[in-house]
Structure 1
Amino acid sequence: MKKYSAIISELDYKIILKVKQLREQEGLSQRDLSEEMKLSKSFVGKVEALGQPDKYSIRHLNLIAKALKMKSVIGLIPKGIQEYDMIEITYEKIPKVNKDGSESKQFLEKIIQIREI
């Protein structure tokens, strides 16, 4: 398998993970959340994809909190100070499997390593 790498701030990465966790708990797809935020249908998918440069801004956190019916954006932000400023994430892209057992054109990203840079 080919390995890929992405460089991102640790804070951005943890916010992306938290939003994804909350989105999935609410049973929302990436597209659903993007539409609730009144942004392009692919926005959340791009943010969650490690190979894309898109990230959430302060404005987006407010839109996410509203879409998820939260009382505050604080629940989207990790507690405390992050240990690292920037991290490098090494990952593989693994094809998703369709219901019929064939390989999808979509991929899952399997994280191999996260390291400080």
Structure 2
Amino acid sequence: MTKIEQYIIEEIKTMRKKHGLTQLELSQKLDMSDSFISHVEAPSKRAKYNINHLNMIAQIFDCSPKDFWPEKPL
């Protein structure tokens, strides 16, 4: 996993918890398998977010997809 992938995953995980959503609930809101978010958040798994996922998650959290990205390159 790259540094940028880990950063985005951690940002979304923080927002998920802030909004009081479980991994299962966010997976279901994305219309993905029940285990999708748990696989993305698990360092041992290969699942990652793609651009479409980031856009849908931003819609769910009512924010911009750029809110998941760092201010400067990693």
Aligned to 1:79: 71
Aligned to 2:3: 10
Which ranges of 4 or more aligned residues in structure 1 deviate by more than 4 Å?
Answer: none
Q: Quick check: 58-67 or 17-26, which moved more?
A: 58-67
1:21 aligns with 2:17: no
How does the TM-score come out when normalised to structure 1? 0.61
Task: Give, as a single letter, the amino acid of the residue that structure 2 aligns with 1:80.
Answer: K
How does the TM-score come out when normalised to structure 2? 0.94
Aligned to 1:60: 53
Structure with the higher fraction of residues in strand conformation: 1
Q: Among residues 30, 34, 44, which one is paired with 1:41 in the alignment?
A: 34
Counterparts of 1:69 and 1:41, CA distance in 2 = 22
Task: Give, as a single letter, the amino acid of the residue that structure 1 aligns with 2:44.
Answer: G
In the alignment, structure 2 segments of 5+ residues that lack a partner are: none
Greater Cα radius of gyration, structure 1 or 2: 1
- State, as a whole percentage, how many aligned pairs show the same letter: 34
Structure with the higher fraction of residues in helix conformation: 2
The number of residues matched between the two structures is 74
